[in-house]
Amino acid sequence: MSPTTRVIAIVIVVAMLLAGAGVTVAAVFTSGGSGQTGSGDARRAPAPTTTPAPGAQRPPSPALAPYYRQRIDWQPCGEVEECATLTVPLDYRRPGGDTIGIAVLRVPAADPSERLGSLVVNPGGPGAPGTSYAAGGTGVFTQPVLDHYDVVGFDPRGTGASEPVDCLSDEDLDTFLAQDPDPDTAGEADDLVSGIETFFQGCVDRSGPIVGHVSTVETARDVDVLRSALGESALDYLGASYGTKLGATYADLFPARVGRMVLDGAVDVSLSSRELSLGQAAGFETALRAYVEDCIGADDCPLGESLDEGLQRIKDFLVEVDGEPLAGMGDRELTEGRAFYGMILPLYVRDYWDLLTQAFEAAFDGDGSILLRLSDAYASRDVDGSYVDNSAEAIYAINCLDDPYAVTADQVPAQVPAFERASPTLGRAFAWSLVSCDGIQVSASEPAPDITAAGAAPILVVGTTRDPATPYVWAQALADQLASGVLLTRDGDGHTGYNSGNDCVDSVVEGYLVDGTVPEDDTTC
């Protein structure tokens, strides 16, 4: 578990990962650079570009001028997508030193005659590749946004194809992710701490200097270089989950450059790592309770007939798997760690609740394969044992660089009561996540700002009332902290609000991005 949020911001290709498992899954959106936007509009006509407005490429300092004067050389990389590499300094304190390349992908506006400009997007994580997010088409964005904007995604530094952080071999990463997230013996606790120390030492040994330069502040500076290279005088931006922290950081560093900004599934940027973990424990407990209530209301729920019975069955199951792992796939067993993450993933999307029920049914009969596949999807692990991206490693590297707070193993028991009050079912695992940054080998090149974004244009903050990963109170807090924050509430389940089946939310977001209509603060859908 990360110190804050392991975000699956793009709908994961669960159907593909469960192929052959005998599992019934509703059709879902396929993410990635497949070359299909979802609209079926295959074309190769050159996309229009934005002519830089006066001052659009003015650098914050003269030494950064070569980066800010870049123009992006787009090349076809799919049926409609175009790809390029943006050059940025490894260390903004030394702009004349080493550089790194940032992978960028653009899906041109579907209706060039109505094009407004570029919409930069980020799916969260931290660590999720933004190029796949941009390529997501109607599975991620609604058609009015696709019609009016070039959707531009980038892999943040240290992730995806942008100088990715590497900390462990695939085999060692398997072992790391299979660890008990809730150790109940001294030996399990020692293994957890040793695994974390090995992980961070591996980051330094396998990644080199980049591992010390993947902070959110540095990525926000990259975003401004990208804005300039796109020729935009202001940044239009849509960020989900951790992407809201990135967007808020950008707004604080460059308030005069903020255009139409939407922060969906908001992170409370004022909270410490401990407070974030505590809030997320409560968020997942809320989501789990909502799932169990839904399950017991249907026929043949494997969890029992009452909420308390269902929650206790889940808690007992994790203890059972800790004592005796289940058969999974091949020689891979379902450990408690894999069961935990396999259970967490479907809580992000309400449409996956039926899948979680199928997974429990199979597991209670001794078959851990569905939960194991869900755990693999959570970690971006492919069926062949390789990892589709480095998000499972980058999340630790980025979060711990932003806030290296950690407790030692012998300090965790004192934290457990507060976490069990927040989450009686899962609290101990979230309490143990507080050791996740113990052993980090590097420190950030500059401190994170206290974020208010004074002077920025209106920023639309979207919160969902039963969001497991970014609790609704975080959206309320971020909207209050931002000087120009405007809160939009989605009453519902699952992670993030835009394009999640609520027409009211979609209409408000589209009205803001396309027409510039700022909704009333505290609008509820």
Q: Which residue has the tokens 């059972």?
A: 320
Report, as residue numbers or ranges, the catalytic residues.
Answer: 241, 467, 495
Pairing mode, if any, of strands 258-264 and 459-466?
Answer: parallel
Instruction: Quickly count: other Cβ atoms within 10 Å of residue 171's Cβ.
Output: 9
Q: Fill in the DSSP letter of residue 259.
A: E
Q: Which amino acid is at 307?
A: L
CA distance 239 to 247: 6
CA distance 225 to 156: 12
CA distance 227 to 67: 11
388, two tokens: 């589709």
CA distance 381 to 199: 17
Q: For 449, what's the count of Cα atoms within 13 Å in the CB-facing half-sphere?
A: 21
CA distance 107 to 43: 11
> How many H-runs (helices) and E-runs (strands) does the chain carry?
18, 12
**453 and 486 in contact (C-beta within 8 Å)?**
no
Spatial CB neighbours of 17, under 8 Å, sequence gap ≥ 6: 373, 374, 376, 377, 383
User: CA 70 from chain center: how many Å?
Assistant: 28
User: What per-residue string of b and e applies to 1-32 under the rule 16 or more CB within 10 Å gives b?
Assistant: bbbbbbbbbbbbbbbebbeebebebeebbbbb
For 158, 191, 327, the CA distances from 105, given in Å and listed in that order, are 16, 40, 40
**41 and 110 in contact (C-beta within 8 Å)?**
yes
**220 and 80 in contact (C-beta within 8 Å)?**
no
Using CA atoms of 377, 380, 382, 387 in order, give the dihedral in degrees to the nearest 10.
Answer: -160
Kindly provide the residue ranges of all beta strands, DSSP E only, lying in 155-253, ordered along the sequence: 235-240
Give, in degrees to the nearest 5, the angle at Cα 47 between 41 and 49: 150
